[in-house]
Amino acid sequence: MSIPYVSPQEFSAEILRHLKHSLGKDESHASVYDWRMSLSLALRDHVVDPWFASTRRTYEARGKRVYYLSMEFLIGRLIEDVAVNLGLDAVAEEALSALGQDYAAVVANEPDAALGNGGLGRLAACFMDSLSTLGIPAYGYGIRYEHGLFEQHFEDGAQMETAETWLAQRHAWEFERPEVSYPINFGGHVEEHEGKAVWRAGETVVASAYDTPVVGWQAQWANTLRLWAAKSTTAFDLDSFNRGDYMAASAPEALARTISRVLYPDDTTDTGKELRLKQEYFFTSASIQDLLRRFLSEGGDLRALPDFVAIQLNDTHPAIAGPELVRLLIDEHGFEVSQAITTARSCLAYTNHTLLPEALERWPEDLFIRVLPRHHRIIQLIEAAHIAATGSDIRILEHGEVKMGELAFIMAHHVNGVSALHSELVKETVFADLHSDYPGRIINQTNGITPRRWLYSCNPPLRELINETIGTTWPDDLQQLDGLSVHAKDPAFLDKFQAAKDANKTRLSNWLQARDGVSLNPDAMFDVQIKRIHEYKRQLMNLLETVALWNEIRENPNAGWTPRVKIFGGKAAPGYVVAKQIIHLINDAAKVINADPATREYLQIVYPENYNVSMAEILIPATDLSEQISTAGKEASGTGNMKFALNGAPTIGTLDGANVEIRDCVGAENFFLFGLTAAEVTARRAVPEYARRAVEASPRLARVLQQIEGGVFSSDDKTRYSGLVQGLINHDYFLVTCDFDSYFGTQRDVDKAFADKQAWTRMAALNTARVGWFSSDRTISGYARDIWKTPSLISARGS
């Protein structure tokens, strides 16, 4: 499959045809929305042929398909993504300009598809891109949330949340499939008839499919992202309506729809919520029913299912897939229990994304029995088989809870961590016992990012420089960036590299000026920390360092300070009180520090509201310094860290997650390392009063804490932060106090390094050159090779 050439003139005509026939508008009355929809539909037309061809080829190959089950797909915008993969990016821009439209404005009109919280959801989106680029037959399965992640704004510095409404406008990329639907049962009870279990459900909703084609690089392949929406089984109740009871008439529909209404905004666990469990079962059951229907319709024998079906569980959220598949094999297809369990396990693999023990999903057993009585019984059978096979002490059902991590592990043929360090810690900590029960089951697949979105399309100046330096075939073979290394000695190349960075900094400054009326000093170092707000990610430590720096600049204004803009971005879970205090404190500190004439030249704090994927695409290319400062052992991998390095921003960071591997690739001399190691963190926690001692040992830190506690940044409410500060001194589980001095000192090394312009640019360029390994194409090749055993169906790529 190759992409047929389309001229800008032809493409203009296609856009106009959609404007007229799909939008019902003529040119003189068209709004930006109308142009955006017409452009999207014109692009979508070009995806259909590669999509059909891929489906046909998959069918003819009679091979294995991958099913990626994820509660989250954090997609962002799609216009540029699709245009770039179709090779129509320049054509689309020219076509719209010829129609008198501002291409950038039309692209920016698209709302982000924010069907995810953060790293896990964005990883799923990058994986979909790579699966298509590599030509691996795959379906992504998830939920078509009516409301994605909430929108954030600040009121007097405090986070406020409002509902996100991406579906208020038509979604241009999807195809509704009303004919593809499945009943999903909940509740009721289980009856036994002659040794056969029959589940009499209490309630049934319908899962209805919406398909979005996902086209890969150069349109060589396209897979499907199938998202499920919940609908009612009962038709509209006309009797109630005729009686005038309008509420009752629409009640069943409203009740059913709540299941796919909103994404849970917590990115650890928000335990015990019945609706969350229903969401998990809803999309998992629909997906399993769908893949079984496809398999059987192709004439498959279910005993051979594992040769044709690879199901990947994105964390434990779809862990009910194990019991659901076992249930269907036993209750509907006559399998014996042990045969059903073995078959299901051979299909399933599980990716773990967290070590925080409190973040492992557990459900109260009584709630679980109420919602999924048949599955509870199946889990007992799975647990019994596990104990019989291993003699293990580990239980799935324990202390009145259903432990989803243990369930996912026991029902998977492989379990993987997401960075080298994380996978080792998975073996040593959360799953140590299961690791010895099932040696060899845990493996590593270090995360990656798609270079199409995270370099090619978000960073045009650097993309063009790379094209002219090493040619244009790097986007699906990112290790080619290595070819830039030799140029990192060439002052002319470095000048161009710096010019690209400066252009991106200007673009960011203009965007911020237009959006928020904020001006940035373009000569300052742009120091960026963007990610969900979490205590373990330590935005608070970054803020403490900022205040300490402010103090020192005030005391010694003529010491030749390196100007910095500290940029923060990210949302806190609405119920996470400490994270919200941290946001408030950053905004309060920004107000005071930004208003200080004595330091204004050297230090500025910026916290744009509502950080999302589209904002990341503007911030990352403009970044000079990447903040990856989590407590060692807590960040499973990180993927933002990879995006920054790829776009030429050196990291200041701890030995945590994929930072370790990034540092190995870029070289220790091109990475600003500080802080305790994971082993030292564990040891330090055993020291009594470690936080208090650390504060006493650091006058610089003690002073900052006194200022915050004393109300220097909260003159309207002097005690606002006393709880936050006392929490640090008395508990500080994430060792902010212990790493503070090391962090502050390393930041001063960064200041010095940044002052030597050419040396800095060289370091930045070497970061870009040496992180090609972090392409999600490499990650997906690893999953395909080690877990799924699926070949590429693109002839040129056979893996």
CB 198 within 8 A of CB 190: yes
What is the rounded (10 degree) CA torsion for 646, 647, 650, 651? -70
| Residue 36 or 634 having the CB closest to ligand 26Q | 634
Structure tokens at 553: 């600049």
**Residue 148 binds ligand 26Q, judged by CB under 6 A:** no
Interface residue with ligand 26Q, options 8, 118, 650, 772 (CB under 6 A): 118
**Residue 424 binds ligand 26Q, judged by CB under 6 A:** no
In the chain, % helix, strand, coil (3-state, to 5) comes to: 55, 15, 30
Residue nearest to ligand 26Q (CB): 119
Q: Catalytic annotation on 25?
A: no
Interface residue with ligand 26Q, options 54, 159, 447, 707 (CB under 6 A): 447
The one-letter code for the residue type at 638 is G
Phi and psi of 320, rounded to 5°?
-65, -10
**Range in contact with ligand 26Q (rule: CB under 6 A) among 20-28, 118-126, 694-702, 731-739:** 118-126
Report the distance separating Cα 776 and Cα 356, nearest Å. Answer: 25
Phi and psi of 492, rounded to 5°?
-65, -40
| Residue 58 or 445 having the CB closest to ligand 26Q | 445
- Terminal Cα-to-Cα distance of the chain (whole angstroms): 18
**Residue 266 binds ligand 26Q, judged by CB under 6 A:** yes
Q: Write a three-state SS string for 555-567.
A: HCCCCCCCCEEEE
Taking residue 592's Cβ as centre, other Cβ atoms within 10 Å add up to 16
3-class SS of residue 357: helix
Q: Catalytic annotation on 571?
A: no
**Range in contact with ligand 26Q (rule: CB under 6 A) among 2-10, 30-38, 104-112, 115-123:** 115-123
**Range in contact with ligand 26Q (rule: CB under 6 A) among 263-271, 367-375, 695-703, 768-776:** 263-271
Report the distance separating Cα 65 and Cα 54, nearest Å. Answer: 12
Report the distance separating Cα 281 and Cα 317, nearest Å. Answer: 9
Per-residue x/- track, 637-666, ligand 26Q (CB under 6 A): xxx-----------------x---------
Least Å distance, CB 533 to ligand 26Q, is 12
- From 537, 538, 566, 770, active-site residue: 537
How far does Cα 68 stand from its chain's mean position?
A: 14
| Residue 373 or 638 having the CB closest to ligand 26Q | 638
3-class SS of residue 75: strand
- From 18, 532, 534, 762, active-site residue: 532
Taking CB under 6 A as the criterion, which residues in 361-420 touch ligand 26Q?
361, 418
Q: Catalytic annotation on 718?
A: no
**Residue 119 binds ligand 26Q, judged by CB under 6 A:** yes
CB 472 within 8 A of CB 464: no
| Residue 279 or 504 having the CB closest to ligand 26Q | 279
Least Å distance, CB 17 to ligand 26Q, is 41
**Residue 360 binds ligand 26Q, judged by CB under 6 A:** no
- From 639, 651, 737, 768, active-site residue: 639
3-class SS of residue 205: strand
Taking CB under 6 A as the criterion, which residues in 474-533 touch ligand 26Q?
none
| Residue 8 or 633 having the CB closest to ligand 26Q | 633
**Residue 117 binds ligand 26Q, judged by CB under 6 A:** yes
**Range in contact with ligand 26Q (rule: CB under 6 A) among 166-174, 197-205, 269-277, 373-381:** 269-277
**Range in contact with ligand 26Q (rule: CB under 6 A) among 111-119, 217-225, 578-586, 614-622:** 111-119
**Residue 629 binds ligand 26Q, judged by CB under 6 A:** no
**Range in contact with ligand 26Q (rule: CB under 6 A) among 52-60, 293-301, 329-337, 630-638:** 630-638
Report the distance separating Cα 206 and Cα 122, nearest Å. Answer: 27
**Residue 120 binds ligand 26Q, judged by CB under 6 A:** yes
Structure tokens at 613: 């994927």
Least Å distance, CB 276 to ligand 26Q, is 5
CB 686 within 8 A of CB 738: no
343, 332, 204, 228: which is closest to 284 by C-alpha? Answer: 228
| Residue 37 or 225 having the CB closest to ligand 26Q | 225
Report the distance separating Cα 241 and Cα 196, nearest Å. Answer: 41
Least Å distance, CB 140 to ligand 26Q, is 15
| Residue 219 or 407 having the CB closest to ligand 26Q | 407
Per-residue x/- track, 196-235, ligand 26Q (CB under 6 A): ----------------------------------------
Least Å distance, CB 353 to ligand 26Q, is 4
Q: Catalytic annotation on 353?
A: yes
**Residue 312 binds ligand 26Q, judged by CB under 6 A:** no
| Residue 181 or 637 having the CB closest to ligand 26Q | 637
**Range in contact with ligand 26Q (rule: CB under 6 A) among 93-101, 434-442, 629-637, 732-740:** 629-637
CB 343 within 8 A of CB 295: no
**Residue 8 binds ligand 26Q, judged by CB under 6 A:** no
Sheet holding 651-653, edge to edge: 603-606, 564-569, 525-530, 625-628, 651-653, 672-673
| Residue 25 or 317 having the CB closest to ligand 26Q | 317
**Residue 636 binds ligand 26Q, judged by CB under 6 A:** yes
Burial of 161: CB neighbours in 10 Å, binned 0-12, 13-18, 19+: middle
Interface residue with ligand 26Q, options 94, 203, 237, 270 (CB under 6 A): 270
690, 566, 677, 592: which is closest to 630 by C-alpha? Answer: 677
**198, β-bridge pairs:** 191
Look-up of token digits 């080619």:
480
Taking residue 561's Cβ as centre, other Cβ atoms within 10 Å add up to 17
What is the rounded (10 degree) CA torsion for 556, 557, 560, 561? 90
Interface residue with ligand 26Q, options 264, 350, 526, 611 (CB under 6 A): 264
Structure tokens at 307: 């040769």
**Range in contact with ligand 26Q (rule: CB under 6 A) among 183-191, 225-233, 458-466, 631-639:** 631-639
Least Å distance, CB 515 to ligand 26Q, is 26
Least Å distance, CB 143 to ligand 26Q, is 12
Q: Write a three-state SS string for 550-616.
A: HHHHHHCCCCCCCCEEEEEECCCCCCCHHHHHHHHHHHHHHHHHHCCCCCCCCEEEECCCCCCHHHH
Least Å distance, CB 445 to ligand 26Q, is 10
Q: Catalytic annotation on 29?
A: no
699-709 helix and 690-697 helix, angle to the nearest 10 degrees: 110
Report the distance separating Cα 183 and Cα 599, nearest Å. Answer: 63
**225, β-bridge pairs:** 140, 212
- From 25, 64, 501, 643, active-site residue: 643
- From 501, 505, 531, 762, active-site residue: 531
Report the distance separating Cα 738 and Cα 766, nearest Å. Answer: 31
Least Å distance, CB 765 to ligand 26Q, is 25
Report the distance separating Cα 520 and Cα 527, nearest Å. Answer: 12
Exposure string over 459-475, b if 16+ CB within 10 A, otherwise e? bbbbbebbeebbeeebb
Report the distance separating Cα 289 and Cα 642, nearest Å. Answer: 36
Phi and psi of 537, rounded to 5°?
-80, -15
Report the distance separating Cα 514 and Cα 517, nearest Å. Answer: 6
**Residue 267 binds ligand 26Q, judged by CB under 6 A:** yes
Q: Catalytic annotation on 268?
A: no
The size of the interface with ligand 26Q (CB under 6 A), counted in residues, is 23
- From 122, 353, 487, 505, active-site residue: 353
| Residue 110 or 361 having the CB closest to ligand 26Q | 361
**Range in contact with ligand 26Q (rule: CB under 6 A) among 18-26, 156-164, 353-361, 370-378:** 353-361
- Residues carrying an active site annotation: 353, 531-532, 537, 639, 643
Q: Which residues bind ligand 26Q (CB under 6 A)?
A: 117-120, 123, 264, 266-270, 276, 353-354, 361, 418, 447, 635-639, 657
